[in-house]
Chain A
């Protein structure tokens, strides 16, 4: 603190606040709502509702291709979307074909199958209601090939079974055999590549879920090329809310995105608070500098 001008010293201290203090505030902003189980309900926005409505409108037995295009770093944001979409697809009796354009997505398919389908819908049969096609290299090149011939790239499923021995793969020829493509992730390769190399050339509806950071980059494709998008935790929470509204039985199931909205809300408020503080101190500092310059000019 400046002893000659204690008031400005205070503002200087605030302006140059140690970043560890900010870290501490953010830490508490996340931990306290988690400990108090503070959560918030969400209303689905049109961009999220469009995905829900599309799945809701698909007749029983429709084929949905779900691409796990993400890794563990974005699991907290993307996994709640996947869980909600899988629950919805299972409830609607859709056929789920799971694959990954990311090597890290391969394990996440298995985990999602175990945690959601096998645990919550034990009557679903592997190979009849859902299949794990696993990871294949090639990025957009892979999409380009399966657009015309799926079995050229997928000769077995992830468990090593011959692809034609998997009942639900028998009538799959290429991407055009699917009624909907869901790409989850938002990085490269991801939703953009599915739109450009799969959805557009094959005239197949594409929707997806992306991290909050990547979602703004995908808006140019909405709504004509990308029928809907779940953006970040908020998008996932909106989808979970829409699912609970449509199927109240899911209220008793886990809804991690709705639970995470509480900490996210408080963290956002803390960030806004620090931005406001930063600007107040900036303006005071600027005014002070201008005053000093003016005084200097008068003296000269």
Chain B
């Protein structure tokens, strides 16, 4: 039963959602819409599961003093403080409908003065690693790597006013060779063609996988005891 009921639910929901796209009338249209609402409700409950899982994993690491366990303390402390600040609306309007982001509320202050600078710092560090990785990895080792290198060059320069200045002297008939125009062409033609090819491939894979799940062939999503 533990395996059959989820498979039956998956089959019914999956089939109805597919049919509702092609026949958006009663009862399928309505059912498809309702299933989307159920999904949103379940998504909210997923937060509870996620929070529970986070506490369980990191609590275990702290209890057993695993490697780097002090980081887990920081994680649990950060999670707890933010949750308390948000749930109890400390410093903000009370009540279930009070705005979390009200100026002066503890949640807003933590978000503004702790979370935002930390996230921005982490992301800003990428610039340094990109520069170092480019120096080591962008080598014209073969034809394919050379094409990639040239494309990277054009895009890097084309995204700056320096690229405009570098080739602005070219006469009008050769304006297509100006770096910003070349960068634009790379983005709109080879990049778009490649991306579309990848997307079509992924879409075909998703269709095949969805059919396997709906028909009960693929059961790994049920967990370790699915077989």
Contacts and interface: CB of A to CB of B under 8 A. Distances in A.
Interface of A: 17, 19, 22-23, 25-27, 30, 40-42, 45, 71-76, 106-107, 109-111, 114, 136-139, 141-142, 144-145, 148-149, 152-153, 156, 158-160, 212, 216-217, 219-220, 222, 232, 234, 261, 264-265, 267-272, 274-275, 277-279, 282-283
Contacts of A279: 138-140, 149
Chain B interface size, under 10 / 10 to 19 / 20 to 34 / 35 or more = 35 or more
Given A72-B119, A136-B40, A145-B40, A219 B188 contact: yes
Contacts of A25: 131
A191 to B, nearest CB: 13
A278 B160 contact: no
Nearest to A282: B139
Contacts of B44: 137-138
A216 B161 contact: no
Contact of A272 (B37, B139, B157): B157
B175 interface: no
B43 A267 contact: no
Contacts of A269: 160, 162
A23 B196 contact: no
A265 B162 contact: yes
Given A138-B39, A264-B160, A279-B138, A107 B97 contact: no
A107 B107 CA distance: 9
25 contacts: A23-B132, A26-B128, A41-B161, A45-B184, A73-B122, A75-B119, A137-B46, A145-B33, A156-B97, A159-B99, A160-B96, A219-B192, A222-B192, A234-B160, A265-B160, A265-B161, A268-B157, A268-B160, A268-B162, A269-B160, A275-B134, A275-B138, A278-B135, A279-B139, A282-B140
Given A23-B128, A234-B160, 6 more contacts: A26-B131, A45-B180, A76-B123, A111-B101, A144-B39, A265-B160
A111 B119 CA distance: 16
Nearest to A270: B131
Contacts of B115: 72
Interface in B26-78: 33, 36-37, 39-40, 43-44, 46-47
A269 B191 CA distance: 23
Nearest to B38: A141
B103 interface: yes
Contacts of B120: 72-73, 75-76
A141 B102 CA distance: 28
Contacts of B103: 110, 114
Given A23-B128, A271-B156, A278 B138 contact: yes
A160 to B, nearest CB: 3
Nearest to A276: B153
B174 interface: no
B36 A271 contact: no
B167 interface: no
A219 B95 contact: no
Interface of B: 33, 36-37, 39-40, 43-44, 46-47, 93, 95-103, 108, 111-112, 115-120, 122-124, 127-128, 130-132, 134-136, 138-141, 149, 152-153, 156-157, 159-162, 180, 184, 187-188, 191-192, 195-196, 199
A268 B159 contact: yes
A277 B135 contact: yes
A107 B112 contact: yes
A285 to B, nearest CB: 10
A100 to B, nearest CB: 11
Q: Which 10 A-B pairs give the minimum distances between C-beta atoms?
A: A160-B97, A138-B40, A110-B101, A40-B161, A72-B116, A72-B119, A73-B123, A265-B160, A141-B39, A274-B135
Contacts of A222: 188, 192
A145 B188 CA distance: 33
B158 to A, nearest CB: 9
A137 B44 CA distance: 6
A145 B139 contact: no
Nearest to B46: A137
Contacts of A106: 100-101
A257 to B, nearest CB: 13
Contacts of A26: 127-128, 131
B123 A74 contact: yes
Contacts of A42: 161
B195 A158 contact: no
A107 B82 CA distance: 13
Contacts of B149: 275, 279
Residue of A41, A107, A114, A274 with highest tally of chain B CB at under 10 A: A107
A283 B97 CA distance: 65
A84 B117 CA distance: 22
A275 B135 contact: yes
A203 B39 CA distance: 24
B208 to A, nearest CB: 19
